Structure 1
Amino acid sequence: MLRKAVKLWSEPVWVARVGQVYQKTTDSLKHQVAVGMNTALYQWGLLVAVIGFLLGRAVILTELTPFVLPFLAAIYLLKRDKAAIASFSLVAGAIFSYHGQVGFVIVGIIAYILIQKAVTRFVPNQTQALPYLVFAASLLSRLGIVFIGSGTISGYALMMAAVESGLSFILTMIFIQSVPLLTVKRVQRPLKNEEIICLIILLASVMTGTVGWAWNDVTVEHVLARYLLLIFGLVGGAAIGSTVGVVTGLILSLASLASLYQMSLLAFSGLLGGLLKEGKKVGVAVGLLVGTLLIGMYGEGGPGISATVIETLVAISLFFLTPNRVIHNIARYIPGTVEYATEQQQYLRKIRDVTAGRVEQFSTLFQTLSKSFQMPAPKEDMERDEKEVDYFLSNVTEKTCQTCFKKERCWVQNFSKTYDSMNKIMTETAKNGEIKDQLLQLEWNKHCIRPEKVVQAIVIEHSHYQVNQMLRKQVSESRKLVADQLLGVSQVMGDFAKEIQKEKEAHFQQEEELMEMLRGAGMEVGHLDIYSLKPGQAEIELSVPYDNGQGIGEKIIAPMLSSLLNENVVMQKEELHFYSNGHSHMTFGSAKQFVIETGVANVAKGGAWISGDSYSTLELGSGQYAIAISDGMGNGERAHLESTETLQLLQKVLESGIEEMVAIKSVNSVLSLRTTDEIFSTLDLAMIDLQTAKAKFLKIGSIPTFIKRGDKVIKIDASNLPMGMFQDFDVDVVSEQLMAGDILVMVSDGIFDSPSHVENKDLWMKRLIAEMEVAEPQEMADIILERVIRSDRGILIEDDMTVIVAQIKRNTPKWASIPIYRTPMPLKKRA
């Protein structure tokens, strides 16, 4: 049995279970201890009591206690429920102190409470009045005690009372900012520099309450001051470390004149330890130890240096025993630290996720609304049609059969035959306006005793039925339009939510490398920020001195960045004198792989001023280039308005980020619903990706497009009805991979149909384009228009004519790359 038990407990499963139980028990105990400590310190007011006790003991210049009333006033203002604890702890600290100022502490507390109660009724803003109340309570209490004790007030007593009251005035403003940092469980935001200084002053003031506590020449206030110096030196570096040293040393020197040299020791040690913070705890500790040895020898000399070194070693021991988690939590609130940056990124990530979540919710909402507006299923359509037929026949029978004496025979005994016959008559009259089927007419005459009246009622009812059908169709088309628009908005918002959720990657190492290389090449760079290093999506911002218009950014910095990133980088934006020091702000980004150069030639019918054709060429923010021609039906101002409005609608929808298919269908829905006039317009749209040169051609009732590639001419054609003719239609999309040097020719129907003597117009246009030797798009557009007009004897321009020629070119920067002969290894690690 014993062997079995030993074997059972030696199994890995049992060991793992015991470990899990032990871990859970340990975590539970830690959690309970943490909860208990938080409850005691913050809810029960133990932390307020400890600080109050030490401030009650604190004294400066051997007789002044300016810390009591400011602390009480701050607690009374910020945490009034802890004011009683603060008062008793201050009195207790004064009782167990060496300065003998118990009477002033008690009188000062009573005087402040009375003045505060009296003034609160007349002063609404207590925060602004608080320093003045403390000043008055301190001055009156000190002068009252001096007068009671000696019967007179000397000039020295008046001066010391004024100094004490003035210090209380200043400390009140400091404690209002710093007390909340110690009396709350968790600070919700990073600290400002002023708040850090106020916090250090409060901690140093609390340390003065330990004056007189010593063990074998090792004083507690010196150990705590150096421990505080180590913490802030590691967290904030040289600036924060030296600041802590100066402030703490000054306050300790005021508390004990024998510690005057401590200010020099702490300031130098804080600076040295902060400079060595890269060595973590060991580096900061070495800095404090070296500072102690150097300043200690000048302070107390050889005999007293041993006590100073021991105090430093005790502080270092406490520093090494401090958990890294505590130091990490402190660093989160100090600007400039890595922990602070991480905390800020987490906060921004939370804001970003919340924003993206709300956008996704709106996207889902619009998608749901789109589904609710979508057309019903075919089965529902059939059911609805059957109901409408029933309503139709019900209206007819109500006017005819209700007064017939044979209605029971027709609708009760022969319901199916009557219903089917009337349904056939309804279909026949809807198609022909009358009954042309003689067999159907004969059967109906035999079945009904009032055949002509029923047929006439059916014909009359058709007019109402057709109006209802037309209204239903318009409602259906409107619902379809709304559904498409909502779906497009949903897709745009969904894409926007994904863009928000993209992480902004840190490029600290790459920024340092670029900064070093640019400065090594002789460029003076103020700062440099990298937002993206993805191929084709690089985005860099930097500041440089104003160059008096010499174009350093375009001519030098952009070519350098192109060489470093191994891709074409251009200056996208320059803001002169953007910074207070006169530096300019420049933005650089990846150049597009291709550029489009266009030329346009157009003429109106008969040489008029207004053409029914409209065109547009624009570069979208997504790296797409759009070329569009719209031809309104007919000529003149009305056709011009139709085509112009079509392109304006399309441009706005495309710029909003909606996909081109949804955009075209949305524009078509608007055009088909806005008027009952038969006003249509064609659309010829080409979308070209400037990074890959891949093109999409969407043709709505338009003329073929031609691509000239060397001696070869390619025809792009698709068959779709003009826009505005039908609400629901399909769009054929033709994709084509373009190449550098390709020439795109888009024309309106006036160009294509003008040569009336030509039978095969496709072949004629191909030959015309292939024979051209010119390479400039504008010149080529002018020549095509001229030859088309002259081909028809040049007598009369029969229609509006528009031709757009676009040439795809490889994007070559104006300035060649400037090589830097040092391989930037970190820059190759693109995200």
Structure 2
Amino acid sequence: MEKLERTITEPIGEVDLNRPKVEIGKLFGKIQAGLETFFIKKGYLFLIIGFLLGRALILSQLTPFTLPFFAAIYLVRREKAPLALIGLIGGAATLSFTHAATTFIICFLFLFVFRISKKWVRNELKVLPFFVAGTLLAGTVAKTFILKGHVSLYELMMAGVEASLGFILCLIFLQSLPLLSLNRRRQSLKTEEIVCLIIMLASVMTGTIGWNVYDLSVEHIMSRYLVLIFAFVAGATVGSTVGVVTGLIFSLANISSLYHMSLLAFSGLLGGLLKEGRKIGVALGLLIATLLMGMYVDGGANLIISLYETGAAILLFLLTPQNLTMKLSKHIPGTPEYAAEQQQYMRKMRDVTAQRVSQFSNVFQALSKSFSAHNEPSGWEENSDREFDYFLSNVTEKTCQTCFKKDHCWARNFDTTYDYMKEIMNDLDYEDGQISPRLAREWDKHCTRAKKTTEVIQQELTFYKANQKLKKQVQESRKLVADQLLGVSAVMGDFAKEIQRERENHHKQEELILEAMQEFGIQVEQVEIYSLEQGNVDIEMTIPYCNGLGECEKLIAPMLSDILGETILVNSEECAAFASDFCHVTFHSAKAFVVDTAVAHAAKDGGLVSGDSYSTIQLGSGKYAIAISDGMGNGERAHSESQETLQLLQKILQSGIEEQVAIKSVNSVLSLRTTDEIFSTLDLAMIDLQNADAKFLKIGSTPSFIKRGAQVMKVQASNLPIGIIEEFDVDVVSKQLKAEDLLIMMSDGVFEGPKHVENFDLWMKRKITELKTDDPQEVADLIMEEVIRSRSGHIEDDMTVVVSKVKHNIPKWSSIPLQKKAN
């Protein structure tokens, strides 16, 4: 039926227009794979290169290419060395039989010496150029002596030149030959690798010197084609470099081609500059260079031939598949294709990293669920009944197993015996080891060993209660671990989302900002926008040396504020050390509120070390945390305890974990760390700087107060101090703060410090209401002074007061309008 419905609903006569393109793409792919297999894997490319290098000459008599190429092939692709040797001998034979014989003998001599000395050579790559140079020098001198019977000084010098060229060419071939293998095609090319590749290609093309097709020189056509390819792919710099290097090698091979170097260099430069015109623009650059150079060299005698050669090179260039130039450009740094390839690679790495982080987040979430599954109430009830059955089995094993009434009690009256024992256990547990008289009388009538059974139940009850306490602690620890794992999972999930958030494309906005700055007279070198999200703007600028005049804060940030419609401030600034260097500045969105905090504190009896610790934490999520911790007792031990509590809390909060989970984590660490009864209180306030929303988490701490004009509000929560128990619920109190509010937090030494005061709340509210100042430091000092004065100048406990004032964030410099508004 489904098949019939599909047949009816399919459109009749519809043709897939993309199918021919797909088939053509597959055909080209098969052809490309076949050519790669034939030329590279099977090594026939080295046969062709060897043939051309075998007939290449320098200064019309030197052949320094043969042995370096054979030696490099022997070291890099040893299995293809015979093909390369055949190609070299075949190319040399086109010059003369003597050249072919000399090439074979020199290569054989190199193999003989290299194989013999292999026992003493540790690094073949380093010594190979020296072997090549020595073999060339010895072979050339021996050849001259055999043919002429003597060796002149000129011939000896030429042999030295050829050996030196062989040394250099060996290094070049070792660098460039691996580029022709399939395993390195995905790597980017370094500058020296590009130059070596160009030298090798130019050297290979010197083997075409003397080849003509209808009076057109093949070497001129191929050299101009090479320049066109690189100018189109990499631009003017690489194009002119290719022209210079290629022309230089051709001029060494044939002195009459000296002017050709100027033509190639000029055409590479023009073609690269006209690269924006695509292939037509690059071809036009070569054509213009040919016309200009042809008219000034030889009076234009060979201009027509040169134009024909340029036309043939342009035709080959236009027929070159775009796929080939795209592949080549991906390996040359600085090209758009290379940048796109790198961006794709970075995106792939980013996605892989985000996926791995997300997987870890799922693992932690699964672990959290696994720990939480063992803490279900139904599971606890089943385990409790099972444990009670084990408890009774231990009791009956010591009492009922040897009793003659065992069958009567447990086979005939199981429920009655079971209920009696359960009731006895409950009485012993809740009545301080005593059972009720009624139960004692009934149990004596029911059991012949009532007294012994009661004693065994009491003994086993001690172990049972210890076991229950231990299991409860394990369950609480499991719940704590589950919460911590869930918090870590949430943090890692958020981190995975941040990794996947790409830098958006803001080229247009960057140009507008740059243009606006320049119109205003501010010189900006570069603008990079990473985010334009409201309240989360992130812009980086590079400006010239500012000489420390505050140009970024006074001019650029106000202008950005006017452009973006929100307050922008300088986040970080790296000023240049020298006048020729640049400054790097980042601008972020300003928070709607800022918090000014002041502290007043004193140690017990005027000591140097206080058991109280305080901290202010600026979190990256736009939150501001204020914390006070009071260690148990006084002195160094209490100070280290409270300080460690705050340090743990700060590091956990900065990791991005939620406040409640962070406090529970700190509590678990401190409660499990030591068996000493050393506890700490914690008073934490988290203020969101975007909306001034505040959350208060109080662990065994005193109340806090919010002063808003003449009104004073108390913030209070009831929790035990940190470290007393392993599991507790954190009460969170939320308050909406407003600008100019004063938040007053204090330790118990201040709150409970006043002498002869019955109601500390009313006393503290009255003192705060009577304050005539709203300066945080003055408020903290006045409260501290009032408490100490009530004690006649004695400090009987560690005292800490932290006062924070919430204010609107008003930038120091107002926004600067870019355009005058119409009246």
User: Is the 1:62–1:99 Cα contact (8 Å) retained in structure 2?
Assistant: no
Could you tell me which residue of structure 2 aligns to residue 211 of structure 1?
A: 209
5+ residue gaps in structure 1?
1-8, 824-831
CA distance change for structure 1 residues 789 and 316 in 2, over 3 Å: closer, same or farther? same
For the residue of structure 2 that corresponds to 1:695, the secondary structure is: strand
Q: Distance in 2 between matches of 1:674 and 1:703?
A: 25
CA distance change for structure 1 residues 656 and 284 in 2, over 3 Å: closer, same or farther? same
- The one-letter code of the counterpart of 1:355 is T
Write the mapping of 1:564-603 to structure 2, written as runs, cut at 5 A.
564-575=563-574, 577=576, 582-603=581-602
Write the mapping of 1:463-502 to structure 2, written as runs, cut at 5 A.
463-502=462-501
CA distance change for structure 1 residues 445 and 543 in 2, over 3 Å: closer, same or farther? same
**Residue 678 (structure 1) shift:** 5.3
Q: Distance in 2 between matches of 1:501 and 1:18?
A: 36
Q: Residue 278 of structure 2 is aligned with which of 280, 284, 302?
A: 280
Q: Structure 1 residue 121 and structure 2 residue 119: aligned?
A: yes
- The one-letter code of the counterpart of 2:45 is L
Q: Structure 1 residue 106 and structure 2 residue 104: aligned?
A: yes
- The one-letter code of the counterpart of 2:352 is V
**Residue 276 (structure 1) shift:** 1.5
Could you tell me which residue of structure 1 aligns to residue 696 of structure 2?
A: 697
- The one-letter code of the counterpart of 1:63 is Q
The TM-score, its normalising length taken from structure 1, stands at 0.90
- The one-letter code of the counterpart of 2:164 is G
Could you tell me which residue of structure 2 aligns to residue 385 of structure 1?
A: 384
Write the mapping of 1:605-624 to structure 2, written as runs, cut at 5 A.
609-624=608-623
**Residue 117 (structure 1) shift:** 1.3
Q: Distance in 2 between matches of 1:140 and 1:536?
A: 77
Q: Distance in 1 between matches of 2:757 and 2:415?
A: 63
**Residue 307 (structure 1) shift:** 1.3
**Residue 494 (structure 1) shift:** 2.9
**Residue 167 (structure 1) shift:** 1.2
For the residue of structure 1 that corresponds to 2:185, the secondary structure is: coil
The farther-off stretch of 57-66 and 80-89 is 57-66
CA distance change for structure 1 residues 730 and 79 in 2, over 3 Å: closer, same or farther? same
Q: Distance in 1 between matches of 2:94 and 2:735?
A: 91
- The one-letter code of the counterpart of 2:476 is E
The farther-off stretch of 85-94 and 704-713 is 704-713
Aligned residues: 813
**Residue 308 (structure 1) shift:** 1.0
Q: Structure 1 residue 301 and structure 2 residue 299: aligned?
A: yes
Could you tell me which residue of structure 2 aligns to residue 406 of structure 1?
A: 405
CA distance change for structure 1 residues 33 and 16 in 2, over 3 Å: closer, same or farther? farther
**Residue 660 (structure 1) shift:** 0.9
Q: Distance in 2 between matches of 1:34 and 1:282?
A: 26
Q: Structure 1 residue 783 and structure 2 residue 788: aligned?
A: no
**Residue 739 (structure 1) shift:** 3.0
User: Is the 1:705–1:744 Cα contact (8 Å) retained in structure 2?
Assistant: yes
User: Is the 1:47–1:183 Cα contact (8 Å) retained in structure 2?
Assistant: no
Q: Distance in 2 between matches of 1:255 and 1:388?
A: 98
CA distance change for structure 1 residues 63 and 674 in 2, over 3 Å: closer, same or farther? closer
- The one-letter code of the counterpart of 2:179 is L
Q: Distance in 2 between matches of 1:162 and 1:687?
A: 81
**Residue 562 (structure 1) shift:** 4.3
Could you tell me which residue of structure 1 aligns to residue 334 of structure 2?
A: 336
Write the mapping of 1:602-681 to structure 2, written as runs, cut at 5 A.
602-604=601-603, 609-633=608-632, 639-676=638-675, 679-681=678-680
Could you tell me which residue of structure 2 aligns to residue 828 of structure 1?
A: none
Q: Distance in 2 between matches of 1:501 and 1:195?
A: 35
User: Is the 1:610–1:640 Cα contact (8 Å) retained in structure 2?
Assistant: yes
Over aligned residue pairs, what C-alpha RMSD do you find? 3.1
CA distance change for structure 1 residues 735 and 547 in 2, over 3 Å: closer, same or farther? same
The farther-off stretch of 445-454 and 357-366 is 357-366
User: Is the 1:435–1:441 Cα contact (8 Å) retained in structure 2?
Assistant: no
For the residue of structure 2 that corresponds to 1:101, the secondary structure is: helix
- The one-letter code of the counterpart of 2:397 is E
The TM-score, its normalising length taken from structure 2, stands at 0.91
**Residue 108 (structure 1) shift:** 2.3
User: Is the 1:433–1:459 Cα contact (8 Å) retained in structure 2?
Assistant: no
User: Is the 1:573–1:588 Cα contact (8 Å) retained in structure 2?
Assistant: yes
- Per-residue CA deviations over 1:492-543 (Å, capped at 9, x if unaligned) read 3333333223213355555555555555655555555444444444444455
User: Is the 1:268–1:291 Cα contact (8 Å) retained in structure 2?
Assistant: yes
- Per-residue CA deviations over 1:6-25 (Å, capped at 9, x if unaligned) read xxx9x994544565664554
Could you tell me which residue of structure 2 aligns to residue 152 of structure 1?
A: 150
Q: Residue 343 of structure 2 is aligned with which of 331, 342, 345?
A: 345
- Per-residue CA deviations over 1:95-142 (Å, capped at 9, x if unaligned) read 235797222222222222222212222111111111111112222222
- The one-letter code of the counterpart of 2:306 is T
CA distance change for structure 1 residues 526 and 250 in 2, over 3 Å: closer, same or farther? same
CA distance change for structure 1 residues 100 and 656 in 2, over 3 Å: closer, same or farther? same
- Per-residue CA deviations over 1:196-238 (Å, capped at 9, x if unaligned) read 1111111111111222222222212211111111121122211
Could you tell me which residue of structure 2 aligns to residue 256 of structure 1?
A: 254
**Residue 625 (structure 1) shift:** 0.9
For the residue of structure 2 that corresponds to 1:124, the secondary structure is: coil
The alignment-based identity, stated in percent, is 56
Q: Residue 197 of structure 2 is aligned with which of 175, 199, 212?
A: 199
- The one-letter code of the counterpart of 1:616 is S
Write the mapping of 1:677-826 to structure 2, written as runs, cut at 5 A.
679-754=678-753, 762=761, 765-790=764-789, 792=790, 794=792, 799-821=797-819
**Residue 756 (structure 1) shift:** 6.7
The farther-off stretch of 41-50 and 675-684 is 675-684
Q: Residue 143 of structure 1 is aligned with which of 141, 144, 156?
A: 141
- The one-letter code of the counterpart of 1:333 is H
Q: Distance in 1 between matches of 2:573 and 2:425?
A: 75
- Per-residue CA deviations over 1:522-569 (Å, capped at 9, x if unaligned) read 555555544444444444445555555444444444445445544444
User: Is the 1:602–1:801 Cα contact (8 Å) retained in structure 2?
Assistant: yes
- Per-residue CA deviations over 1:1-58 (Å, capped at 9, x if unaligned) read xxxxxxxx9x994544565664554444333223212211221112222222222222
User: Is the 1:42–1:185 Cα contact (8 Å) retained in structure 2?
Assistant: no
User: Is the 2:477–2:726 Cα contact (8 Å) retained in structure 1?
Assistant: no
Q: Distance in 1 between matches of 2:17 and 2:576?
A: 65
- The one-letter code of the counterpart of 2:323 is R
- Per-residue CA deviations over 1:153-176 (Å, capped at 9, x if unaligned) read 223322222222211111111111
Q: Distance in 2 between matches of 1:615 and 1:97?
A: 91
- Per-residue CA deviations over 1:274-323 (Å, capped at 9, x if unaligned) read 11212222221211111111011112433311111121122222222222
5+ residue gaps in structure 2?
1-6
- Per-residue CA deviations over 1:342-368 (Å, capped at 9, x if unaligned) read 112222223333333333343333334
Q: Distance in 2 between matches of 1:20 and 1:288?
A: 37
- The one-letter code of the counterpart of 1:75 is I
- The one-letter code of the counterpart of 2:71 is A
User: Is the 2:375–2:475 Cα contact (8 Å) retained in structure 1?
Assistant: no
**Residue 243 (structure 1) shift:** 0.5
Could you tell me which residue of structure 1 aligns to residue 423 of structure 2?
A: 424
- The one-letter code of the counterpart of 2:29 is H
- The one-letter code of the counterpart of 1:129 is V
User: Is the 2:330–2:337 Cα contact (8 Å) retained in structure 1?
Assistant: yes
**Residue 477 (structure 1) shift:** 3.4
**Residue 88 (structure 1) shift:** 0.9
